[in-house]
Structure 1
Amino acid sequence: MRILLVEDEDEMASALSAVLKSYDMLADRATSLMEAAEIMLAGAYDAILLDRNLPDGDGISLIPKLRAKAIPTPVIVLTARGQLSDRVTGLDTGADDYLAKPFAVEELLARLRAVWRRAADLQPDIVRLGRLSFNLNHCEAEVDGQLLELPRRELLVLQTLMRRMGRTVVRSSLEAAVYSLDEEVQSNALDTHVSRLRRKLTEAGAGVEIHGIRGVGYLLRAAS
């Protein structure tokens, strides 16, 4: 899972990022409304953890802007403003959940799971192509019912391609799905993951093909 953490306090951001990464979640950070808006347009996220007290305004003002651009990413507001009126305002503005600071890590993780479940209800759990099936919620691939063992980054590449099978996925979208913003990525790293994934799918008889679109990205379709 990929999380955007919008938090300007360094200590809080570092602690939350460490927790998320310990649960195998990619965590990117924005420190302002402007930065968050730019990052959201550049990459796809499974959830946003949003502080209200940001240097350039109230964090919840970001939510209507995201919805106006048809970005449905679930938003959990994390804030020291815990009064009932504050929670009502946040939820009425479009937040999916509201958690007052300080909070227990276990509660945050439970609320993340809850918003993911609600989002998952709007899309199929499993998508199929050829003899390959992919569970989007659990990030697991099977060929003819047999689990296909893949490293995490290759699974993330495959997940992104399966979500848009039959359509070209640009390199920037694939890289955003696989790497966090603070990672240094070599120019050929994505191509290496795709090459290894392509070989494993062929060896497993998945009945799918990954086609490279020169200068653009990759496309997944049923084998001809």
Structure 2
Amino acid sequence: MACASAEHEREVLYSLVSRRRTVRQFTDAPVEVRALMRILACAQGVSGTDGKRGAPSAHALYPLRLTVIARRVQGLQPGTYTFDPQRAGLDRVAPGPTPGSLLAASLADDLWLETAPVVIVISADHDLALRHFADQQPDGLRGARYVDVEAGAVAQNLYLAALVEDLGGVLVMGVDDEALARALTLPAANKPVALFCLGQDQRS
């Protein structure tokens, strides 16, 4: 039975990875709140009694934070929310950003920043990471590498979890950081790293 279970898990994982694609065109259909919560938990939720999460973090520092811009989520009032990894819950912190402000911060014509039902903001406390890993290289910047690698792991989890929920997504990093920070409601210590647009694939 154990061998059969392991083989099934391998098939599921390899199938997910082989089907992972970027989705940029979304329908108007809302995202179900239960699906959204499972996706967020997969990306940053606590996954065991040891406090570890689904995405790795050097020294278990966890400098990343997920902020959710909910436009069309069934069962959730539109607005900006922070994700609490410990209880796998959302806390509403502000209305959504001004319409057009995310697109204005884009360095390209990323219309999906405005059309996606959900935008998940991956942000980081860079200063925390830089201080923690300051002695690992002469210029003290090793922490920035850890932040980027951790954000990549979170993004891949978002892609795969979205696929399981019959949704699609696109990671956006081509943004003006200062303009984006002005458009978003983030803790003072956190700076945006990337945006993940989430919704139902228009091609489905």
TM-score class, shorter: under 0.3
TM-score relative to the length of structure 1: 0.26
TM-score relative to the length of structure 2: 0.28
Report which of the two structures shows the higher radius of gyration computed on alpha carbons.
Answer: 1
Larger relative contact order (CA 8 Å, sep ≥ 6):
2
